[in-house]
Amino acid sequence: MAHWQQSGAIMLSIYLILMLAGIIAAFVLGRRRGAALYDGAGIARADVHSLPIYHGLMTATFAVAPMILALALWTSFAPGLSKSAAISAAPVKEITVEPARRQLEEQALYRDIQLSASLLNQGRPLTRPDLQPAAETYNTSKSRLFWALLLAGGVFGAAGGVFGLRRISVNLRSRNAFENVVLGVLIACSTVAVLTTIGILFSVLYETLQFAARYPFWSFLTGTVWSPSSLTLGALPLFAGTILITLIAISIAGPVGLFAAIYMSEYASQRFRDVAKPILEVLAGIPTVVFGFFAALTVAPLFKGFGDWLDLTLGTNLGVASESALAAGLVMGVMIIPFVSSLSDDVINAVPQSLRDGSYGMGATKSETIKKVVLPAALPGIVSAMMLAVSRAVGETMIVVMAAGLAGNLTWNPLQAVTTITVQIKTLLVGDQEFDSPKTLAAFALGFVLFFFTLALNMVALRIVRKYREQYD
């Protein structure tokens, strides 16, 4: 694997250098030819449609397009061709009939061939001498394919460049043509976000279907026992744990964030705002792994220590767990405060001053105006802010990975350790794993639940915000 990548990277760099050279040459030639148009007999400068630079750019485009195409073909087909050539040259072992198994064996064989090939290139002794012919085939195939790429790229690139050059004339609209190319690139860039969504959908959905084929999906959603080691995958304790921690977080971030926003937008002086806003921004800029560290190594022990002290002195029996849901939830709540407050700040500021003036005009105090006029008017916005905050809390990973537990306890006691969806995704996927075992697939199924739950929340929340904005625009 590493071998193909290593030498592949070198090949790729050589080809990219070739491409760059082609671009520069085509550009210079095209530009020169474009500039020469001005000197034609009976032609005024204003009659030449496009600037030389656009002729250059367009010629370069003609030259580089076939080279990119060749590269795309090479990257998608060359590894496969080399692989099949190498495997067919390998000594035939007993044929395993079961397809899944055969695939794995083939994969292992291929890896060995690649290793041998790289050892061969370095002139070191092979660990599996029986693979020498296959390794040699592999190396030749690879270098042949690479030469083919260089040749094809060079020839077609040059042909494209010449074609582009010959088109250049006084009336050729190279600027318009190149602007269309640019527009194409712009459109392609703006579809990346859509492709990302499709990629996410495809990956979680596909693996989840695989999972559903191996494990009853209903008992995954409703089972009360989560024990991956024994392949008992009832995710209810995870959902409950996620909800518990989210509830704790929101019950802190909600009121604190909202009151902070109210104070900042309605009461605070400019000078106070200048100090307080950066504080909230600092809080928003702290990476979650830092909060996780703080939760796991400071807050959780603090809670446990306090709980044990209470147990000891007052004779209570709290039995605070060392990875209590309360610690993780509390820290997560603090993390979300700036998120809630900045969203709420926006919606509160969007409430027209005229509404407030109406209330003040009647002799209402500030707090009465806020409670009876501003907040009801901003309610949809605040609700959507809370929904986005919930979605954020549900999807938060590092704090819970570091500070919440691993065991799927089905409990509502915040002093106990619980586990969450994100913790289990991380636990199931990090480390060595086979890709199609039910355990790894379960992680994707959890990802599926997480993605669709947060997506639904976000969509509803964003729609509310949009409606709300339109109302006051």
Partner 1 sequence: MTDATFQPAVSGKVDFTSPKAQAHLRKRYAVEKRFKAYGLTAIGFAALFILFLVSDIVIKAVPAFTEHRLTLTLTPTAERVAAGGKTDRDTLMQGDWIAVVRDGVGQFFPQVTNRTQRSKLYNELISIGAGEDIRDTVIADPSLIGKPVRANVLLSDDADLYFKGRMTGRNERNGGGLVGVSGTSDTVSITSGINDFAAELARVRSDLQVAARLAQLEATRLRTALETVVPDRRAALEEQVNRQIGIVADLEKRGRSVGGSETLGDNTASVLVKINGGVIKLTEIGNEKASGTVLIPLKTATEAKAGEWQILTLTTPEASRKLSDQQAAWLDRMKDEGLVSKTVATRIFTSGDSREPELAGILGGLAGSALTMLVTLSLCLPIGVFAAIYLEEFAPKNRLTDLIEVNINNLAAVPSIVFGLLGLAIFLNTFDMPRSSPLVGGLVLALLVLPTIIISARAALRAVPPSIREAALGLGASHQQAVFHHVLPLAMPGILTGTIIGMAHALGETAPLLMIGMVAFILEVPSSVTQSATALPVQIFLWSDLPEQAFQAKTAAAILILLVFLFIMNGAAILLRKRFERRW
Partner 2 sequence: MNVLSQAEFDAPSKGIGMADGESAVTARGVDVYYGDKHAIKDLSVDIPAKSVTAFIGPSGCGKSTFLRCINRMNDTIPSCRVTGSIKLDGRDIYNKALDVVQLRAQIGMVFQKPNPFPKSIFENVAYGPKIHGLASSKAELASMVEKSLRRASLWEEVKDRLDASGTSLSGGQQQRLCIARAIAVSPEVILMDEPCSALDPIATARIEELIDELRQNYTIIIVTHSMQQAARVSQKTAFFHLGTLVEEGPTKTIFTTPRDKRTQDYITGRFG
Binding to partner 2 (CB under 8 A): which residues in 434-463? Answer: none
469 touches partner 1 (CB under 8 A):
no
The region, left, alpha or beta by phi > 0 then psi within -120 to 50, assigned to residue 286 is: beta
17 touches partner 1 (CB under 8 A):
no
By CB under 8 A, name the one of 12, 25, 51, 200 that touches partner 2. 51
Q: Which span (44-52, 277-285, 324-332, 426-434) binds partner 2, by CB under 8 A? A: 44-52
By CB under 8 A, name the one of 77, 147, 163, 259 that touches partner 1. 259
What is the nearest approach in angstroms of partner 1 to the Cβ of residue 18? 20
263 touches partner 1 (CB under 8 A):
yes
48 touches partner 2 (CB under 8 A):
yes
Cβ closer to partner 1: 197 or 224?
A: 197
By CB under 8 A, name the one of 144, 175, 366, 469 that touches partner 2. 175
49 touches partner 2 (CB under 8 A):
yes
Give dist(CA 78, CA 63) in Å, integer: 22
Q: Hey, which bits of 213-260 come out as E strands?
A: 226-227, 232-233
100 touches partner 1 (CB under 8 A):
no
Please spell the DSSP secondary structure of 78-132, one letter per residue.
Answer: HHHHHHHHHHHHSPP-PPP-SHHHHHHHHHHHHHHHHHHHHHHHTTPPPS-GGGH
Give dist(CA 153, CA 20) in Å, integer: 12
Residue pointed to by tokens 């291929």? 110
By CB under 8 A, name the one of 13, 88, 143, 176 that touches partner 2. 176
Rounded to 10 degrees, what is the CA torsion of 235, 454, 424, 437? 80
Give dist(CA 126, CA 92) in Å, integer: 19
Helix and strand element counts for the chain (H, E):
17, 2
Which residues inside 395-434 make contact with partner 1, applying CB under 8 A? 395-398, 401-402, 422, 425-426, 429-430
38 touches partner 2 (CB under 8 A):
yes
Which residues inside 173-202 make contact with partner 1, applying CB under 8 A? 175-176, 179, 182-183, 185-187, 189-194, 196-197, 199-200, 202
By CB under 8 A, name the one of 459, 467, 471, 472 that touches partner 1. 459
Cβ closer to partner 1: 9 or 213?
A: 9
Which residues inside 309-328 make contact with partner 1, applying CB under 8 A? 311-312, 315, 317, 319
Other CB atoms within 10 A of residue 403 CB: 30
What's 410's DSSP letter?
Answer: -
124 touches partner 1 (CB under 8 A):
no
230's tokens: 């024994």
151 touches partner 1 (CB under 8 A):
no
The enclosing H or E element of 190 equals: helix 174-214
What is the nearest approach in angstroms of partner 1 to the Cβ of residue 74? 15
58 touches partner 2 (CB under 8 A):
no
What is the nearest approach in angstroms of partner 2 to the Cβ of residue 470? 18
Residue type at 64 in one-letter notation: V
CA distances from 293 to 65, 289, 333 (A): 50, 6, 15
